[in-house]
């Protein structure tokens, strides 16, 4: 639990929590997040420095230099960490710094809800380079989005409809442990995309509908509470996903200032 500040509110607070305890949890959350962000920034800076030093030595000696890995602040191995960092930086750069999400919203402003669904699928899948993964995600989304709020097809798209379809999709891809009817959907999708690309997909949803981040964190908290007492072997997939969330949320929060 201590590793994931984004779970604190939903896992540690309730309607009966006293203000002093709420303030304590809030301060602890900020402290933990700040500590992780510092470690993350240090890791990335050190890794860049090592790469640059190795490049200069190679130029001077004409001999390839071995680049020693820098311990990272997650439970991911260094290869997975580097891949995740690159993926989340790129997604955040495109959708926040370069305003890709805002441009998309302006382009569909006069669309009907039915037409928006098609553009929505393209928005969520266009960053996935591997064709097999992109096609599988497109097929999954077409199957689930097509039947979503069909009675609103002729309505003009608006913030409420975007939030509704995004939240419905989030509910579909992150199953409720108490009602695990769509557990197989989530596991198949995560297995197809991998933990990093799956979290990047979730981030793109929140970039489009910022209000969705609260629902996302709540659903992650429900998963954590459900699997908290299970063995590591049975919950390893969740740990991988939460570690990717920890990294992705930190980079998105910094608006890709880690470059």
Domains in the chain: boundaries: 5-253
Whether this prediction's pTM lies above 0.95 is answered by no
Residue 95: DSSP 8-state: I
Q: What is the pLDDT of residue 11?
A: 93
What averages of pLDDT result for each successive group of 10 residues across the chain (259 residues)?
Answer: 93 94 94 93 84 73 64 91 93 85 89 89 89 89 79 84 90 80 77 92 91 92 88 88 95 60
Take residue 233 and report the two structure tokens written for it. Answer: 């072997």
Contacts of 247 (CB under 8 A, 6+ apart): 40, 74, 76, 81, 84, 85, 88
Q: What is the pLDDT of residue 71?
A: 82
Long-range pairs for 3-7: beta carbons < 8 A, 24 or more residues apart:
3/75, 3/242, 3/243, 3/246, 4/224, 4/242, 4/245, 4/246, 5/29, 5/30, 5/32, 5/33, 5/36, 6/217, 6/220, 6/245, 6/246, 6/249, 7/217, 7/220, 7/221, 7/224, 7/242
């Amino acid at each position: 639990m201590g590793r994931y500040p984004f779970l604190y509110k939903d896992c540690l607070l309730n309607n009966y929590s006293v203000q002093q305890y709420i303030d304590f949890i809030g301060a602890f959350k900020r402290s933990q997040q700040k500590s992780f962000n510092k470690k993350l920034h240090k890791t990335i800076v050190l890794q860049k420095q090592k790469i640059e030093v190795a490049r200069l030595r190679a130029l001077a000696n004409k001999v390839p230099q071995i680049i020693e890995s820098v311990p990272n602040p997650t439970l991911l191995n260094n290869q997975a960490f580097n891949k995740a960092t690159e993926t989340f930086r790129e997604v955040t750069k495109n959708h926040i710094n370069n305003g890709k999400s805002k441009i998309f919203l302006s382009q569909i402003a006069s669309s009907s809800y039915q037409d928006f669904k098609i553009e929505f699928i393209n928005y969520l899948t266009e960053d996935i380079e591997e064709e097999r993964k992109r096609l599988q995600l497109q097929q999954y989304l077409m199957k689930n989005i097509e039947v979503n709020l069909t009675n609103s097809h002729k309505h003009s798209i608006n913030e409420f409809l975007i939030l509704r379809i995004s939240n419905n999709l989030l509910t579909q891809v992150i199953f409720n442990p108490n009602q695990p009817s769509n557990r197989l959907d989530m596991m198949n999708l995560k297995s197809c995309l991998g933990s990093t690309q799956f979290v990047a997909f979730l981030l793109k949803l929140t970039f489009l509908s910022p209000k969705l981040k609260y629902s996302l964190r709540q659903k992650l908290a429900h998963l954590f509470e459900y699997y908290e007492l299970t063995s590591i072997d049975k919950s390893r997939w969740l740990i991988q996903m939460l570690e990717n969330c920890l990294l992705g949320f930190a980079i998105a929060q910094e608006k890709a200032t880690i470059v």
